């Protein structure tokens, strides 16, 4: 019996030596390149339906949803309409300059995208204030300067209160309301809408094959997740912006 056990040990040792000779050098090479985790993560992302599939059109009652008409005043006291964004790939958000909670991070995330997409002259942003009584063009101008907003196609927009709330709640279906009891006196969704050159709202699909519709704007890429475990979607938004910018430029 002892002799038989010795043969078993010899056989197991031989298998281990063969495995090591074949696979260990390959693993060592990948570790040397610093690529084991990164390459595997990227291969999963690149092969996922959400990242590789064409962007969805958001529909309502079977019709593609388009940005509603609007005519508002920007930080330079210029009249800006939805027609000014035709031919551009852009992001829409709702915010207010005295927001003590989510708006600063939303703005910082968009400024990062602005800087990273600076080579694309057809990229834009529309920031609609939900506190137009306070957020005059002069106030919006100061806000833009403080946060480093430099893109000529990033308009911070103010105007009639009812028009802006109609645009948010009915036009984009992004919640906004004046609620005196909450911090800052206003409550709104920290979501970004992605709009293509023809004015249609677009998004990628989630892992279940459904459009995500809007992108979380309140979590930074550096943080990755928030306190409730939601993950950042600025990385996804940038990927999808580039997809529209490059595809529609024929690149």
Over residues 177-192, the pLDDT tens digits come to: 999 999 999 999 999 9
- Under the banding of pLDDT at 50, 70 and 90, the label for residue 61 is confident
Residue 99 has pLDDT above 60, yes or no: yes
Per-residue tokens: 96: 């207010």
pTM: 0.79
120 in a known ligand binding site: no
103 in a known ligand binding site: yes
Compute the Cα dihedral for 45, 50, 51, 53 and give only its sign: positive
188 in a known ligand binding site: yes
Average pLDDT across the chain, whole number: 84
Of how many residues is the chain composed? 251
**Is-contact 195 90, C-beta < 8 A?**
yes
Mean pLDDT of 96-103: 97
Residue with tokens 């403080």: 146
Torsion of CA 183, 185, 186, 190, to 10 degrees: -20
Residue 207 has pLDDT above 80, yes or no: yes
pLDDT of residue 53: 81
- Under the banding of pLDDT at 50, 70 and 90, the label for residue 249 is low
């Amino acid at each position: 019996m002892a002799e038989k056990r010795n043969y078993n040990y010899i056989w197991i040792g031989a298998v281990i030596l063969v495995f090591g000779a074949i696979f260990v050098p390959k693993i060592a090479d990948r570790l040397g390149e610093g690529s084991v985790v990164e390459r595997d993560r990227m291969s999963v992302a690149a092969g996922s339906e959400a990242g590789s599939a064409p962007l969805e059109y958001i529909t309502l009652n079977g019709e593609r949803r388009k940005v509603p008409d609007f005519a508002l005043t920007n930080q330079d006291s210029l009249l800006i309409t939805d027609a000014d964004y035709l031919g551009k790939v852009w992001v829409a958000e709702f915010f207010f300059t005295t927001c003590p909670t989510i708006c600063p991070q939303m703005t910082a995330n968009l400024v990062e995208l602005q800087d990273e997409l600076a080579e694309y002259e057809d990229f834009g942003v529309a920031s609609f204030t939900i506190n137009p009584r306070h957020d005059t063009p002069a106030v919006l101008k100061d806000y833009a300067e403080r946060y480093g907003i430099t893109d000529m196609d990033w308009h911070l927009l103010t105007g009639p209160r009812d028009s802006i709330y109609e645009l948010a709640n009915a036009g984009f279906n992004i919640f906004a309301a004046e609620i005196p009891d909450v911090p800052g006196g206003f409550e709104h969704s920290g979501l970004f809408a992605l709009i293509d050159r023809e004015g249609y709202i677009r998004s990628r699909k989630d892992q279940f094959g459904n459009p995500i519709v809007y992108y979380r704007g309140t979590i930074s890429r550096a943080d990755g997740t928030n306190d409730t475990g939601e993950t950042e979607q600025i990385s996804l938004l940038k990927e999808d912006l580039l997809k529209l910018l490059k595809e529609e430029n024929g690149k």
